[in-house]
């Protein structure tokens, strides 16, 4: 590629800064000058040749307004100066244009891919945006160890191993991994955790790991399980099931009922996976399915991910900046931006003909390194599958329109800001309280779409952590909470597992919680720590810490910031109340409790009169007799209790 630039003294800023300053953008462009925009475009067009490439429209400050691709740059850019043929949307864009950036490419297909990449990078206001553009999860079978590990993976595929995906969400990955652990008993722990074990962990006890860390299975037998897992994830599940059935029959015939029982449970896990992935995808192999629905000026797109004839989940996309854009073009833009993150499968099914469909096929084929075919199903099972996707697209759009209220928007913003896979239905917030380590107590509050769920709040009396060890206290709370969750609801079907864990604290608390859950074999619960900023939160400068050590902040007066502060304040209120109650009980808990015949009312009277239990102990008999409500007989009993044997 070669680059040239004309008409602007500034270079465009990155997407993040563009969004931060976007609120002030309308002030600068309140008086658009169409003639100035046309002049800037003409000046650039003079330098261009009829070659393929990508162009960027820039405003007076160098911010990117629009990214487009062209088979012949000179012709395409010159078209923007013919105002009589432009839509109102394009006229607004030209009016704000004061410069352009040009990148030439070797082919139009290469230009198409670069356009999608730059749209995702700069998020210009005149391009369609795939809003839900965070990386998609994969299942990774890492092979760098004698005992390969099965795990969820996001981001760049740098680790050595086999990748299976994409999955529609972390939830669909987690469900599949849990079932695969039952089916193949593969480990999910980190290498460091593996090397430290001297006895099996909880996953072995609940029959979701074969415990290679302590030699409960040999390397060869474990390798056989790994090979079965690869076959299953590659679409050869029938062969795996047949092999398990054969082994189970042989074990039963040999009267080895314990082995037969284990194989039966594994076979049930295989059936569960296939049942949860039931979809009309026979003979489809690897394919993605896209269907679009439009209502009231809004667009929703449903995607199904089929791998090896199995459904690996579905995701609804709600792209933005779609006004005055043809539906077919919206779908094409979303597909191209989607495959910037995900390898394209051999088959892409769509519910309508795409503009420049052959060019998109060529671009995706270059991206995948093999042929990719885009088609519109007309009959048979593929048509039924497309109709299912169309229904899902319409229903997802209806749900989004119904959630247009303030609370629904805040929760959607929460999911986007914290990079969750969907709106959380259960949020757990944690904090602890103590005075110099004394009377330490931890607390959990729970919130959902309808507000706080106070009947599910929990207190944790700290038993093990040392004095003043805030991190140790948080580790103890997490260990107790999630160990119990794994024992009581290992399949996560009871609705008691959180979709988000919010921790009051900073990097240290985040590390403590992350490491504790990792030791339990839990790596799929979203964690966020909220810490007060440099001014102790007085200006709303909270910092949000992610498990991968990234940090984010929210603008002051953001409704989402207020919501998160409210969650944190509620756990503060609850844990401080629990701590005060514990201190109050301690104040009135003393050696007076051991004196026969001294009840709570008389104990309280004595403590209020003398101040402390030690002063009651040191009081003379006459002083005890003068205390209100204390008879001579009771005074003698108290005195004798403390002074017997002297």
Residue 114 near residue 69 (C-beta atoms within 8 A)? yes
Q: What is the phi/psi pair of residue 151, to 5°? A: -160, 165
Token couple for 18:
């563009």
- In the DSSP assignment, the letter for residue 129 is B
Half-sphere exposure of 11 toward its Cβ, with a 13 Å CA cutoff? 3
Residue 214 near residue 197 (C-beta atoms within 8 A)? yes
- In the DSSP assignment, the letter for residue 372 is -
Element (H, E) at 622: helix 621-626
The residues, ordered by sequence, that sit 6+ positions from 19 with a Cβ below 8 Å of its Cβ are 123
Token couple for 186:
């593969």
Cβ burial, residue 556 (10 Å; 0-12/13-18/19+) = exposed
What is the predicted pLDDT for the residue at 297? 80
Low-confidence ranges of the chain (pLDDT < 50): 1-32, 133, 276-278, 437, 536-538, 586-588, 645-646
What is the predicted pLDDT for the residue at 16? 36
DSSP 481-523: HHHHHHHH-TT--SS-S-SEEEEES-HHHHHHHHHHHHHTT--
What is the predicted pLDDT for the residue at 95? 92
Question: What CA–CA distance (Å, rounded) separates 273 from 312?
Answer: 10
- In the DSSP assignment, the letter for residue 299 is E
Token couple for 40:
């800037």
For 548-572, the pLDDT digits (tens) are 888 999 888 788 898 898 898 888 8
Question: What CA–CA distance (Å, rounded) separates 229 from 185?
Answer: 10
Bridge partner residues of 304 (DSSP): 289, 314
Question: What CA–CA distance (Å, rounded) separates 473 from 28?
Answer: 52
Question: What CA–CA distance (Å, rounded) separates 419 from 548?
Answer: 12
Average pLDDT, the chain: 81
What dihedral do alpha carbons 569, 571, 573, 579 form, nearest 10°? -150
Question: What CA–CA distance (Å, rounded) separates 516 from 190?
Answer: 12
Question: What CA–CA distance (Å, rounded) separates 455 from 355?
Answer: 54
Residue 59 near residue 28 (C-beta atoms within 8 A)? yes
Residue holding tokens 């199904």? 304
Question: What CA–CA distance (Å, rounded) separates 194 from 222?
Answer: 15
What is the predicted pLDDT for the residue at 18? 33
Bridge partner residues of 302 (DSSP): 291, 316
What is the predicted pLDDT for the residue at 41? 93
Element (H, E) at 291: strand 287-295
Cβ burial, residue 632 (10 Å; 0-12/13-18/19+) = exposed
The runs of H, that is alpha helices, within 197-295 are 202-205, 219-233, 237-253, 257-276
Whether residue 447 has a cis bond before it, omega within 30° of 0:
no
Q: Report the relative pairing of strands 99-104 and 53-58 from DSSP bridges.
A: antiparallel
Residue holding tokens 């009871």? 494
Question: What CA–CA distance (Å, rounded) separates 159 from 161?
Answer: 6
Exposure b/e, 55-79, CB count within 10 A at least 16 = b: bbbbbbbbbbbbbbbbbebbebbbe
pTM of the model: 0.57
Bridge partner residues of 503 (DSSP): 430, 529
Residue in 499, 132, 128, 127 with CA at minimum distance from that of residue 314: 132
Complete domains list, the chain, with CATH: 2-122 (3.40.1440.10), 138-276 (no CATH), 287-402 (3.30.420.340), 417-585 (3.30.420.340), 591-643 (1.10.150.20)
For 99-144, the pLDDT digits (tens) are 999 999 999 999 999 998 898 888 898 998 876 545 678 889 888 8
What is the predicted pLDDT for the residue at 632? 84
- In the DSSP assignment, the letter for residue 591 is G
DSSP 62-89: S-EEEEEEESSHHHHHHHTT-GGG--HH
Residue 529 near residue 506 (C-beta atoms within 8 A)? yes
Question: What CA–CA distance (Å, rounded) separates 520 from 203?
Answer: 8
What is the predicted pLDDT for the residue at 30? 34
């Amino acid at each position: 590629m070669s680059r040239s630039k004309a008409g602007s003294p500034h270079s465009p800023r990155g997407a993040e800064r563009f969004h931060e300053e976007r609120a002030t953008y309308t002030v600068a462009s309140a008086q658009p000058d169409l003639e100035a925009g046309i002049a800037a475009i003409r000046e650039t067009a003079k330098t261009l040749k009829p070659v393929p490439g990508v162009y960027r429209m820039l405003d007076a400050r160098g911010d990117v307004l629009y990214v487009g691709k062209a088979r012949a740059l000179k012709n395409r850019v010159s078209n923007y100066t013919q105002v009589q043929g432009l839509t109102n949307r394009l006229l607004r864009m030209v009016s704000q244009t004061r410069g352009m950036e040009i990148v030439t490419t070797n082919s139009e297909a290469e230009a198409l891919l670069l356009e999608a990449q730059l749209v995702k990078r700069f998020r210009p206001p005149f391009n369609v945006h795939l809003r839900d553009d965070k990386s998609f999860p994969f299942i990774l079978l890492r092979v760098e160890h004698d005992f390969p590990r099965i795990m969820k993976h996001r981001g760049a595929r740098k680790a050595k191993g086999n990748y299976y995906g994409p999955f529609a969400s972390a939830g669909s990955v987690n469900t599949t991994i849990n079932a695969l652990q039952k089916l193949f008993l593969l480990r999910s722990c980190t290498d460091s955790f593996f090397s430290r074990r001297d006895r099996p962990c909880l996953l072995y006890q609940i029959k979701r790991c074969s415990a290679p860390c302590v030699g409960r299975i040999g390397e060869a037998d474990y390798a056989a399980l790994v090979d079965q897992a690869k076959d299953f994830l590659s679409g050869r599940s029938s062969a795996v099931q047949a092999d398990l059935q054969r082994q189970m029959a042989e074990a039963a015939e040999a009267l080895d009922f314990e082995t037969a029982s284990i194989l039966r449970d594994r076979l049930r896990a295989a059936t569960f996976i296939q049942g949860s992935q039931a979809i009309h995808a026979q003979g489809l192999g690897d394919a993605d399915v896209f269907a679009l629905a439009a209502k009231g000026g809004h667009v929703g797109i449903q995607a199904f991910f089929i791998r090896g004839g199995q459904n690996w989940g579905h995701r609804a996309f709600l792209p933005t900046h779609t006004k005055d854009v043809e539906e077919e073009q919206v779908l094409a833009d979303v597909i191209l931006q989607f495959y910037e993150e995900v390898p394209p499968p051999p088959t892409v099914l769509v519910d309508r003909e795409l503009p420049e469909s052959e060019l998109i096929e060529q671009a995706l084929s270059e991206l995948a390194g093999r042929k990719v075919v885009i088609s519109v199903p007309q009959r048979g099972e593929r048509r039924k599958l497309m109709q299912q996707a169309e229904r899902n697209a319409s229903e997802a759009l209806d749900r989004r329109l119904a959630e247009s209220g303030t609370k629904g928007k805040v929760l959607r913003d929460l999911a986007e800001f914290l990079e969750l896979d969907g709106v959380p239905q259960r949020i757990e917030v944690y904090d602890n309280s103590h005075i110099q380590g004394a009377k330490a107590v931890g607390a959990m509050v729970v919130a959902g779409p309808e507000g706080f769920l106070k009947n599910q709040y929990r207190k944790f009396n700290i038993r093990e952590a040392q004095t003043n060890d805030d991190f140790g206290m948080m580790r103890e709370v997490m260990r107790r909470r999630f160990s119990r969750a794994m024992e009581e609801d290992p399949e996560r079907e009871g609705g008691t597992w959180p979709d988000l864990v919010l921790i009051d604290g900073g990097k240290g608390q985040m590390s403590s919680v992350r490491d504790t859950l990792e030791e339990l074999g839990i790596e799929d619960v979203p964690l966020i720590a909220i810490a007060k900023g440099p001014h102790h939160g007085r200006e709303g400068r909270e910092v949000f810490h992610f498990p991968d050590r990234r940090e984010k902040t929210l603008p002051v007066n953001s409704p989402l910031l207020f919501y998160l502060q409210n969650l944190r304040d509620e756990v503060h209120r609850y844990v401080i109340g629990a701590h005060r109650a514990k201190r109050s009980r301690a104040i009135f808990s003393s050696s007076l409790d051991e004196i026969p015949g001294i009840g709570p009312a008389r104990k309280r009277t004595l403590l209020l009169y003398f101040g402390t239990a030690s002063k009651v102990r040191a009081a003379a008999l006459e002083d005890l007799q003068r205390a209100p409500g204390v008879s001579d007989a009771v005074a003698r009993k108290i005195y004798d209790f403390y002074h017997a044997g002297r």
